[in-house]
Amino acid sequence: MAEQEASGLQVLLSTLQTSRDKDVILNILSVLTDLLSLGSGRRIHYVISKGGSEALLQAFAAAARTEPPDHSTLLPLLRLLARVGQRDRKFGLKVQKAEATDIILSLARRNLGHHLHLTHCLWVLRVCASNVTTGTTLGINGAMELLFKVITPYSKRNVRTVRAAIEALAALLKSKSNSRQAVNRGYLGGLLRLYQDWHHNDVSNNYIYIRRGLLLCLKHIANIQLGRETFLGSRGMEILFTSVQDCLSCKNLDPIITTVTQILRKCYPKEPLPVATVRSSYSFPLPGNAKAEPPCEGSERDYESDGEEEAEKDLDNEDVESKEEDYDLEIDVNKLRPRPVFDRPEEELGQYEAMCPELSHNFQELESDSEEEKSLEHGTESLPFMPSHFIPSATSVKHPNYRWRNQSVTEMGPDPGEKDFKVPLQSWTKRDRCRWDQTDEKRDIAEAAQDADYYEEEDPARTHVLALRPLPKDAAWYKKMVYPECEALINPSPGGRLESSGIETQLLEKHQGDIPFHSPRFYIARAKRVKSIPDYRDLSFPDFWGHQPPPYSKPMLERKYGVQRDKVLDDVRRLIQPGDVIGRIVFDLDEPSRSSPGAPGCLTFFSKFESGNLRKAIQVREFEYDLIMNADVNSNQHHQWFYFEVRDMKLAAPYRFNIINCEKFNSQFNYGMQLVMYSVKEALQGRPCWLRAGHDICYYKNHYCCSAAAGEGVRGKFYYTLTFSVKFPHKDDVCYLAYHYPYTYSTMMSHLDILEQNRNPKKVYWRQQTLCQTLGGNLCPLLTITAMPESKKRDDLEQFYNRPYVFLVARVHPGESNASWVMKGTLEFLVSSDPIADLLRKCFIFKIVPMLNPDGVINGNHRCSLSGDDLNRQWLTPSSQLHPTIYHTKGLLYYLRSIGRAPLVFCDYHGHSQKKNVFLYGCSIKETLWQAGCMVDTSVITEDVGYRTLPKILDKVAPAFVMNSCSFLVEKSRESTARVVVWKEMGVLRSYTMESTYCGCSHGLYKGLQLGTQELEETGSKFCLGLLILHLKSLPCSEKVMAQATLLLDLEEEITDRAQRSCSNSSLETDDEPPCVEEIDYSTDSCSDGEEDFSELDQEIQECLSCVEGETEDEGATMGQTCSSKALRGLYTSSQPASNSTALPLCSTALGVYSGFKSSPV
């Protein structure tokens, strides 16, 4: 049946090409017109697939050559060509092949005095010009001169023809050679004057499409450098900026406003960032002859090339269609297969035996109950002490510029986290209080403080003086909130800091200790031992005081309509109306002497504390500041993470901040994400919270660029602006703003100390060792967590030694602080008294590196280590000197594999800036080949699908997790990541990257909400629950474990089901990134202005057709000159062809064609 239907259409088209009978041709055109006017554009694509474009072009060429031309045939042909051609992506090439370009131009020239005929020609001309190559040919043959004759001078006569001509001209100007030709002939100035005429005279806004068409012409001309320069010289910025002010109050004029905004942004003169060099303010001398090379990650498409002087390219040639993602997929089966090889001599792996003490522990302490009780009473570990081992790293190379780098590895001493670092006893979980009373806690705090003081006296070179930043300077408020005697301590000392014996002591007494797993005293103790490039002397108050998650989740911010264009217009106002621009530098990390902090009415900024990142702040207007982030150390890029202090604000004033050197192509800030803010006054009033904050948030491409000289060879690099407004809750407060919830290295280290003491040593085996030293001389901790054996019996010890491993790592990218919050949730759950955690510890041995890039986190980097390298791209061949944490983590994994103990699961915790939800990336040979379109021989390629089990489990138990967002593809650009290398080289089937959004969720229980630290920590604990279920599904278990698990998981499932029932079921949704309220034009070649909207031209043709039919009927036109629907219905319903019908060849096929369309997808 389908073949008959297709053959019916082909007969119809064939007849159209060969017939010279006018009535036959008109009947065919009538059938096609009616058929293609019904349903969706898919019918037109069906006709195109059967050669419809070629048939129409051939019939058009034949009709146009007749003398005189028969317009009763040409007009319906031109209408069909316009409707079909705009949907045929190869139409321009087909026009050239049919040699129809000259015919169309010639016909248009002959009809300059007949506007109806000319309008039809211009529709087809517009469609032909949508192909750049064809458009260039038309431009060479004089099409632009013809169009300018039609559109100038300004006149409201024949408006339909003028509109068609302007839209055809806009299509022609997509060709850069046509744009250059237009500029050279002075057309740009003419277009500006014409736009002004239409703008001033269109008082009732009846000609929006004409005005927008003229703007599209200007926009395409602005794609070339010559066009932008001429536009600026013609005062185009001032003309468009002034004209658009009249449009802002009318929403119907949005097409005008949007296009003007795009033109103004493109033509804004490019300038370098207001910094001496785009390289980081911090540099670090690398060991040996290694040089820091700025990484270039072109695969992430973070940078654009202006490309205005490049050779002309046919961007619409569809002979080569490929998706970048598919192109990046690895299709070499040999490279996809696991290959168990070592990147180092096997004898070197023996050094990692010391990192697995659990495999040789004799558990003598199990014989002494009194020792255990004593351990519980004093909160100390009763396991035998094993000296901390150190693996030499690049830090042994002396760097005289920094005092701590002169210390050798042995001088650093044992890891303070092993035995001798005491911490206060806190709650087991956030809900259950521990059994030790407050007197014990206070005594432990005092002892730990003494220990910290002892370390300072014993080895002063290892520590340095740290002080809290000055508090709010509202003396009356502070006297009321803290203590009267503290009033004298409010104002900073001449050196700018307060001594620890003053304000910090008073604050520590005030601190209630009600923030779980946090102690300010021990945060200070850990922070004093941190090694940083700027040699930090100040503490950030939020990290010192702590963060308590708020009792509610904040919904994603609804995007204010038109916010982006409003911000861009504000930027343009700076250029053309600079009178109110202050331009005062108020903070400069490079040259502090140039800044003017504390000026009247000016905010004060600061960022020289752990994880801080702010390089420069410039006051633009009274309540507006441009901010510049610092690049990663030894790099000139990766500007995303920010964390800084601001003070001296006014109450309820809407401060606007513009971070002007962002690099990502897009951001979740455009889709509901907010930054986070911490108020010191709020914290001292009992609300120590990082809260989502900011309004009027958007992210867009700006006019700053990186020259080859400043970027040291990086060319064509453009920057983006993140702009947001904040109203601070208090006058003269001290507030902190950050990209995401900060989680510093000192926070992690003090958290580990607290966890070690909080655990129950009878049940929890905990071992904290040092994996290695980092380049900067900081310790990278390695944790081992499992359950203590129930006894020294052989069966119990054998069960202990044979537990499978789970290997977890996090924070390889410093700016992904959400990964640390997820890891925090994992760690707290693993050492908790929860029965599920107890069972999980009995099933697995956990090896955990909670922070793979301590140096990057400490120094405020976003992506790299001190070497300037992205450590998650170094797993193939890591350097022991430049990438010690990766080198030794991989070495430990190699060791486990060499003794037959490769992990059952490997997971690398990350954060994702482009997507919502929490999801996993895994590895699959078959899914990768299928996605790439390769034929997969299942008899040759076999694959265990067990890699999908864990994500499916998490989809059910973790509210923020979405299975539909997961991917198991192996890309070439990711071959050196942890996930892929561990999968290939260690043979770990379940090797994952777990991505957590910075923003919020689009599915499930948290749909429409931004994730906070509580939800991130929950994700970490639910990951543990998923591992337990995976164990029960995948590995043999004892009857005792199975019975216990069944009881516990039934209860857990009941709780989960109840929670899931309380929210709407949205599991069927697959769109991870819903469209924004306002289209966002980032690329200079974007078509987001709606030029490719087929409905516009269709509507224009239909309006013209209705008008023509009305006029014809009034004149008493005959049925043969117009399309008669009555005759057409008779043609459809006739079952027997009439012997005397002139349409005899059509009757037997027309019905078949029509029924064929009905059965085809519409």
In the block, residue with structure tokens 């030694």: 801
Spell out the residues 6+ positions from residue 607 whose beta carbon is closer than 8 angstroms to its own. Answer: 587, 589, 613, 614, 615, 643, 644, 645, 860
Q: How many of the other CB atoms lie within 10 Å of CB of 69?
A: 15
The token pair at 469 is 């930043």
C-beta of residue 775 within 8 angstroms of C-beta of residue 284: yes
Dist CA 277 CA 590 (whole Å): 10
Question: Radius of gyration (Cα) for the chain, nearest Å?
Answer: 35
Nearest to 81 by CA among 49, 111, 56, 116: 56
CA 895/CA 346 separation, integer angstroms: 9
CA gap 180, 139 in Å, rounded:
11
CA atoms within 13 A on the CB side of 631: 24
> Which is the catalytic residue, given 995, 1015, 1017, 1052?
995
CA 938 to each of CA 247, 326, 812, 927, 944: distance values in angstroms, whole numbers, following the listed order: 62, 21, 36, 12, 12
Give 1084's contacts (C-beta < 8 A, 6+ positions apart).
Answer: 223, 266, 304, 306
Q: How many CB atoms lie within 10 A of CB 245?
A: 11
Q: Do 650 and 727 form a contact (C-beta atoms < 8 A)? A: no
The pairs formed by 1097-1105 with CB atoms below 8 angstroms and a separation of 24 or more are 1097/82, 1097/83, 1097/86, 1097/123, 1097/126, 1097/127, 1097/167, 1098/83, 1100/123, 1100/160, 1100/163, 1100/164, 1101/79, 1101/82, 1101/83, 1101/123, 1102/37, 1103/160, 1104/116, 1104/119, 1104/120, 1104/160, 1105/79
The tokens for 435 are 């059994």
Check: CB of residue 284 under 8 Å from CB of residue 533.
yes
| Separation between Cα atoms, residue 809 and residue 910, nearest integer Å | 9
**Which amino acid does the sequence have at 338?**
P
CA atoms within 13 A on the CB side of 776: 26
- DSSP letter at 748 equals H
**Which residues face 980 on adjacent strands?**
none
Cβ burial of 97 (10 Å; 0-12, 13-18, 19+) is exposed
- For 910, the 3-state DSSP assignment is strand
Q: Which two tokens stand for residue 555?
A: 């919904």
Please state the separation of Cα 905 from the chain's center in Å. 27
**What DSSP string runs through 774-820?**
-TTS-EEEEEEEEEPPSSSSHHHHHHHHTPPEEEEEE-SSTT-HHHH
- Residue 959: count other Cβ atoms within 10 Å of its Cβ: 20
256: Cβ contacts below 8 Å, ≥ 6 apart = 208, 211, 212, 215, 244, 247
The alpha-helical segments, DSSP class H, found in 1035-1136 are: 1039-1061, 1094-1114, 1125-1133
Whether 995 is a known active-site residue: answer: yes
Please, are residues 1153 and 2 in contact by the beta-carbon 8 Å criterion?
A: no
Round to whole Å and give the CA distance between 461 and 957: 49
Distance CA 377, CA 891 (A): 38
* Max Cα–Cα distance, the chain, nearest Å: 116
Residues designated as active site: 995
